[in-house]
Structure 1
């Protein structure tokens, strides 16, 4: 659950996106921003260094992110207000709210290995047909699964992993032995 700060900034950004009739575009840009931040944790550490001026931090961010317009202005505002450390949370808050407004179902797919883009497209197409709605796939890699995948849709879980099958076999053996 996000903080009050991330909720407030996320909601403000939702209002701006809706006013510009660009909710989907903002969402895509913030997803990309979140993914780049996730892969570049060093940037977050640099932005927390107090002796680097706000001007220099903004310059670094302009070089790292190619965003123009409202998103870059928003990022710079966070630097000015000493709120940059909340950016990941704000992105998550915005994406969650945008998904609600755009009627997009979030599906978490966990697998033992990184899924290829083609595989994800096939999974997305299949799930959208089955659910009758647009979906947003979030992927997680968990090497303990050995093989197969686990799909979580709201409170439903479809588990087709080798790990779950091994655990089921272990449970059956334990019941027979006892």
Structure 2
């Protein structure tokens, strides 16, 4: 685990604990998702927030103006990050926090690779089958197009890969023939 992810993980876990204690898990999840989207959309703001020539107070004032509508506890958390010069971790913290929320709800993210876009029915069927395999209640599936698969699908959930693509089957046949 990289040092950055480790640090962000500690902050995200602490924030998650506070959210659970205050029954704000869903509120923080939604607001962090919006916050991350805003940060990704406005790189100039991020540069200002990370600018070392700005004082902590200036950064807090800037954050206060931009994040005025978020939950006060979450705003205080952002101030804490600014106080500790960790504001550049916000996006990663949001990702780790969302993973904790998903774990709590029994939800996992899955990447499904196919040659053509899959229909909603196919995605739902894959979600149901693989959620059961992973002991999850639901999978959030992202369908990616990969023409090199030739056919079939490849499902990636965390570190697990389920490859039922024609490409892999042909490679397996080739290995068996050569053996």
For Structure 1 versus Structure 2, the TM-score category normalised by the shorter chain is: 0.5 to 0.7
Q: State the match for 2:127 in structure 1.
A: 127
Paired residue secondary structure (2:16) = helix
Q: State the match for 1:15 in structure 2.
A: 17
Distance 1:142 1:56, change over 3 A: farther
**Contact in 2 for aligned 1:14/1:97 (Cα 8 Å):** yes
1:77 to 80, 105, 122: 80
How far apart are 1:95 and its partner, in Å?
Answer: 2.3
How far apart are 1:91 and its partner, in Å?
Answer: 2.0
TM-score (norm 2): 0.65
- Cα RMSD after superposing both structures: 4.0
1:153 to 151, 157, 177: 157
**Contact in 2 for aligned 1:104/1:133 (Cα 8 Å):** yes
CA–CA separation in structure 2 for the residues paired with 1:38 and 1:122:
31
Gaps of 5+ in 2: none
Q: Deviations over 1:58-99 (max 9, x none)?
A: 343345444232112211221122110122232233223333
Q: Which moved more, 1:56-65 or 1:69-78?
A: 56-65
**Contact in 2 for aligned 1:2/1:89 (Cα 8 Å):** no
TM-score (norm 1): 0.66
Gaps of 5+ in 1: none
Q: Deviations over 1:124-167 (max 9, x none)?
A: 6862475274335264757666898643224443446xxx5356
CA–CA separation in structure 2 for the residues paired with 1:142 and 1:52:
44
Q: How many matched pairs?
A: 171
